[in-house]
Amino acid sequence: MLDVIDLNIEFHDHITPETVVYDFDLHLDEGEIVGIVGESGSGKSMSALAIAGLLSRKKMKKRGQILFDGVDLLTCSRDTLRKYQGNDICMVFQEPMTSLNPVKRIGWQVGESLRLHTELSEDEIRNKVIKMLEDVELQDPESIYDKYPHELSGGMRQRVMIAAALICNPKVLIADEPTTALDVTVQAQIIKLLKKINKKTGTAILFISHDLSVVRKLCSRVLVMYKGRVVETGEVNEVFDFPKEEYTKRLIAAIPRMEKLEYE
């Protein structure tokens, strides 16, 4: 369904062009959960933003292809791209505190995709939004509909973001470190929720994280990125148990372990 072939991303807003992603390849099937791991600055977020079509077309040169159902998102017209954005491809950002518009009500923000992509009336949108808020396991969706973002906690906002992303039944959900800014218990709930939604609606998830244990729990396949290149890719268990590349081995060795700490 989603195929990224030889994607290169180059920054052109400085005097010398700078390449941040080299030959990125990705294949995503329907209903699949694929993880991208790597340290900060390894290009994982950049690749995700490119797939979502959020990178400036002028300041960043991109080579390669991003094929979504056969349409190249890099070269298609703005209008075509907009038709896919929000409707088929959605994204949840890392920081739930800033990813909601502070002056708009929750219900309005969640329903925005429906307003842009469907011809539903305001009443129908309201019903759908409340149903969606219920699906992401928010309590009392009726009252949350009329609330402003500052009245919700971080975990609730991230659920709202997920609801806003999924309202149009997208085929791909890009989650860019959706749990990094949350505490551990909320993290676990959000991961569980994503897994449940994936099973229920068949939405494929591209999960970006530097938390290897989360990726291991959630994903079926994983890509390891380092300095803008994909260094290793494969089934999660294979990559984690029998890493081939030196960098992957070091990355896995860097996971803090309880036993080790106790001996020291």
Partner 1 sequence: MKVRFKENRRLYIGLIITGLMLILAITGKFFTPYDPNAMDSANKLAGISAKHIMGCDNFGRDIFSRILAGLDTTMVVAVGTVLIGVTFGTVIGALTGYYGGRPDEIMMRFNDAVLAFPSLLLALVIISIMGSGKMNVTIALGILFIPGYARIVRGEFLKCRNLDYVQSARLMGASYLRIMFVHILPNTIPVLLSTVAIGFNNAVLAEAGMSFLGIGVQPPDSSLGRMLSESQSYLFLRPGYALCTGSVIALLIFGFAMLNEGLEKHA
The reply on whether position 85 binds partner 1 by CB under 8 A is yes
- What minimum distance in Å lies between the beta carbon of 57 and partner 1? 12
Identity of the residue, 151 or 241, whose beta carbon is nearer to partner 1 in the bound complex: 151
| CA 148 – CA 107 distance, rounded (Å) | 9
The reply on whether position 77 binds partner 1 by CB under 8 A is no
Query: At residue 153, what are phi and psi to the nearest 5 degrees?
Result: -80, 170
Give the one residue of 2, 66, 91, 144 binding partner 1; rule: CB under 8 A: 91
Give the one residue of 27, 62, 105, 117 binding partner 1; rule: CB under 8 A: 117
Identity of the residue, 22 or 148, whose beta carbon is nearer to partner 1 in the bound complex: 148
Site for partner 1 in 137-166 (CB under 8 A): 161, 164
Which amino acid makes up residue 21? V
How many helices and strands, by DSSP H and E, does the chain display? 11, 10
Length in residues, the chain: 264
- Angle between helix 106-117 and 122-135 (nearest 10): 120
The reply on whether position 52 binds partner 1 by CB under 8 A is yes
The reply on whether position 95 binds partner 1 by CB under 8 A is yes
Give the one residue of 15, 103, 258, 261 binding partner 1; rule: CB under 8 A: 103
Identity of the residue, 9 or 239, whose beta carbon is nearer to partner 1 in the bound complex: 9
| CA 164 – CA 171 distance, rounded (Å) | 14
> 123-162 burial string, b = 16+ CB within 10 Å, else e?
eebbebbbebbebbebeebeebbeeebeebeebbbbbbbb
- What minimum distance in Å lies between the beta carbon of 90 and partner 1? 7
Which residues in this chain contact partner 1 in the complex, by CB under 8 A?
52-54, 82-87, 89-91, 93, 95, 98-104, 112-113, 116-117, 161, 164
